[in-house]
Amino acid sequence: MTARAAVAAVLLAAAGCGGPSHPPPAADRAQVVVELEARAKEGGRGPKGDSGDSYSSAGRDPERAKNSARVDYGDLPDIAVMLAGPGLPDGGPAPKASRLRIGPDGADHRLLLLGPAKSTVLTLENATGAALTLGCWGGGSDGFVATVPAGREAQATLSAPGSYELTCDERDDVRVTVIVAPTSWAALGRSNDSVVFDGLPPGDYELVVQAPRLPEVRRKVSAPAGKRTTVTVRPSVNEMEFAK
């Protein structure tokens, strides 16, 4: 097996959607397939605490609740899928660079994924007609504030694993989750797709899946040598469950 094959993560269409199959792992390697099964949103309420009324027990803005109610979780483009655990080598497929464009209609992503390396760079593009002040803070020890002039770009680095929220002083509609993965074995997927981690050392890992405006889900995954382990994830506003 080549080094490139050993660290490949391939984004495939889910079974039944016409996507290509993936070859089984080598005898001394493991493979984990995470199927992101779409489930259409039910009801018109946002996540818990977003009531859409003038009062919310979580203290959230009613307009944010309305925006959440319009999200179709059956067609979700930004889902972070990550593996963590001992024995994972460096060289996984987590992106070392990511880009966020903010235009007149808001941000072009609701969630961004970065690898844990210190060289990971987040590029912020301001495609509006006025300067924007962007702040990014969260559970990790990193964070930043950047002022980006109109029509210009700025770069920032986040290296501490964790979940961050990027906001804009001038735009209430810009709220983006930025995930710094715990290891380099991470990739972005979308509803009705699969993320395949190939060439893994056999072992027990923790699978972490996070979708915009939904709680993260963690599950223990056993990946034996020479076998494919498949886990199905169903993200929706009403539930986010795992089924073997």
Query: What is the tens place of the pLDDT at every residue in 224-237?
Result: 999 999 999 887 65
The arithmetic mean of pLDDT across residues 201-229, rounded, is: 90
The arithmetic mean of pLDDT across residues 55-61, rounded, is: 42
Give the pTM. 0.75
Using alpha carbons only, give the angle 161, 208, 204 rounded to the nearest 5 degrees: 105
Closest CA to 154 of 95, 102, 111: 102
Q: How confident is the model at residue 71 (pLDDT cuts 50, 70, 90)?
A: low
- Strands of the chain (E only): list them: 9-13, 30-36, 79-84, 97-103, 106-107, 111-114, 121-126, 132-138, 144-148, 153-156, 162-168, 175-180, 186-189, 193-200, 203-210, 217-223, 228-235, 240-243
The arithmetic mean of pLDDT across residues 81-89, rounded, is: 89
Q: Considering only CA atoms, give the Rg of the chain.
A: 19
Say if residue 244's pLDDT is above 50.
no
Q: Which of 76-80, 148-152, 187-191, 214-218 has the highest mean pLDDT?
A: 148-152
Say if residue 211's pLDDT is above 60.
yes
